Structure 1
Amino acid sequence: MADHGRQNLCYNIKNREAEGTGGAAMNLQTAIVEDSKPDAERLKQLLKKAFENENISCSCFASGDEFLRAGWREGYQVVFLDICMEGTNGIETAQRLRAADPDLLIVFVTSSPEYVWDAFPVHPFDYLLKPYKEEKFEQLAGELRRVLCRQQPELEVRIARQIVRLPLTKIYYATAQNHYVRVVTDDGECRATANFAQVQEQLQTQPEFLVCNRGVIINMSKVLRFEGDCIEMLDGTHLPVRQKDKNSLLAQFTQYQFRGMQREF
């Protein structure tokens, strides 16, 4: 991780508290699959406005085929799908997505209400009719926010005398440091006043977390390579592997990767 990314997370937390927002902003990855560029841009603007206080990313794809080739493996939480498109249409695209990820939130967009019933079997989260109405979109954004806040697992720790919730998807690893736990995330690193066993218990509720050594737990989705004696993370950090359990740890990591490949195909 670059040095500028290793900011003291406590500073950011204090700033949010002073601003009255409290807690960490929600991380939201969205995709728009739409063959009309003006419609895609309008939808993107509405998303940015509705989630202006969140960490939102929005990627656009011009067809269902393009999205299935390049985009759908990127961990999107919400996908906006135009129903009527050349090639693989929105409903066919949604069927592929639903088979791979039952929890994905799919929002269909269309200018023809009669297609709504055709989309019903893939259990979409909602529908948007074109042209988009800002009032309707704000209502949809509120419903999405409530669902996503429940979906995102978080690590709850005490930092600088404040209870903070860190999204598990952003955590690289955590290590024990005397009476503290050092947690490294996409946003930087922080020192939590916590018992390592308590942090480990919270993190291991998710299948991507692995204890690779005494006082070291990693997020396997953030691993670059398993080198035998150590694990190299995506930020360049090398973490030691418990030698007596090396083969077992490698097997668990390989199984995790295999499960990820199965979800992709």
Structure 2
Amino acid sequence: MHNMEGTGRILRIAYCEDETAQAEYVSDMIKNWGERRNAACDVDLYGSAEEFLFEMDEAELFAYDLILLDISMQGMNGFSLAERIRSTDKKVRLAFITADADFVFRGYEVEAFRYIMKPVTQGKLDELLNSVSAQGGMAMAEYVILEVSGQSRKIDKSDILYVEVDGHYTTIHCESGEFTVKDSFKDVLAMLNAGDNTRGADGNTDSADKTGSNVNIFYRCHRSAAVNIDKVTRIGRELCRLKGGQELAVSRGMYEELNRAFIRHNMKH
């Protein structure tokens, strides 16, 4: 198990609660947990389900490690909000904070990570956050958060086919669509590999985990593009083919390492 204690990573939490005093009380306890664990925490408070959805602006994936939901809110309740979230994001952790035990038995419908019954205590919250933190290393490696059209967007790495230079910007080509960001190609490539025992941002320098196995995901196929090695179906000296049939050029200098990475990856699967 990996945890986030002392790693410099930030645990991002959203809490949707219509009682201001309760929201601030829980937020303070989360920060208290972070101080004791030497773990940085960002807590965003939302006063209603409608406010949360408005701020997310129809996001399909949610840029949080944990979303805490009060069930009994005015307007849309927490369970209905959980159903909305699950309709597009199957992975983000959801936890309910509630005084109504009747909803506990419906948790399987939205794959709730945990329930906390009110009144919330530091001990109950610590147990939840310790569990999230223990899984944090794995979860953080699954997505990257980038600014798209002025808003933070959580992009699932497993959805990405390839990234390429687009003038002064970088375009991320996903199975679900395309996103252009202002970050440089070099910086985007570094962020995409940041959860995977990263290689140097300047190129395809092999790196290995403690077992000696290479764990990188994104490799340059030529100077201006990098592919998700999991999406590559065939590699030639001039072209590589991706799932869906799209082909990208392979430069002479990148071929050997890209081919080695492709072979290693498929031997592990």
TM bucket by the smaller chain? Answer: 0.5 to 0.7
- Give every structure 1 segment of 4 or more consecutive aligned residues whose post-TM-superposition deviation is greater than 6 Å: none
SS in 1 for 2:87: helix
Q: Letter of the aligned partner of 2:139 in structure 1?
A: Q
Aligned to 1:67: 52
Aligned to 1:24: 7
Aligned to 1:134: 122
Aligned to 1:104: 92
Aligned to 2:42: 57
Correspondence 1:198 to 2:206? yes
Aligned to 1:34: 17
Q: Between Structure 1 and Structure 2, how many residues are aligned?
A: 178
Displacement of 1:143 in angstroms is 0.8
Contact in 2 for aligned 1:28/1:55 (Cα 8 Å): yes
Displacement of 1:147 in angstroms is 1.7
Q: Letter of the aligned partner of 2:132 in structure 1?
A: L
- Work out the percentage of aligned pairs sharing the same amino acid: 25
Contact in 2 for aligned 1:106/1:124 (Cα 8 Å): yes
Give the structure with the larger helix fraction. 1
SS in 2 for 1:29: strand
Q: Residues of 2 paired with 1:184 and 1:118: CA distance?
A: 37
Provide closer, same or farther for how the CA distance between residues 100 and 23 of structure 1 changes in structure 2, counting only shifts above 3 A. Answer: same
Structure 1 alignment gaps of length 5 or more: 1-20, 155-167, 176-181, 220-243, 250-265
Please give the residue correspondences for 1:103-252 in structure 2 after superposition, counting only pairs within 5 Å: 103-153=91-141, 174=186, 196-198=204-206, 202-204=215-217, 211=220, 213-214=222-223
TM-score by length of 1: 0.54
1:1-52 Cα shifts (integer Å, max 9, x gaps)? xxxxxxxxxxxxxxxxxxxx99732322110000000111011111112123
Q: Residues of 2 paired with 1:214 and 1:112: CA distance?
A: 57
TM-score by length of 2: 0.53
1:114-160 Cα shifts (integer Å, max 9, x gaps)? 22223331110001111211111111111111122222229xxxxxx
Contact in 2 for aligned 1:174/1:217 (Cα 8 Å): no
Q: Residues of 1 paired with 2:5 and 2:92: CA distance?
A: 27
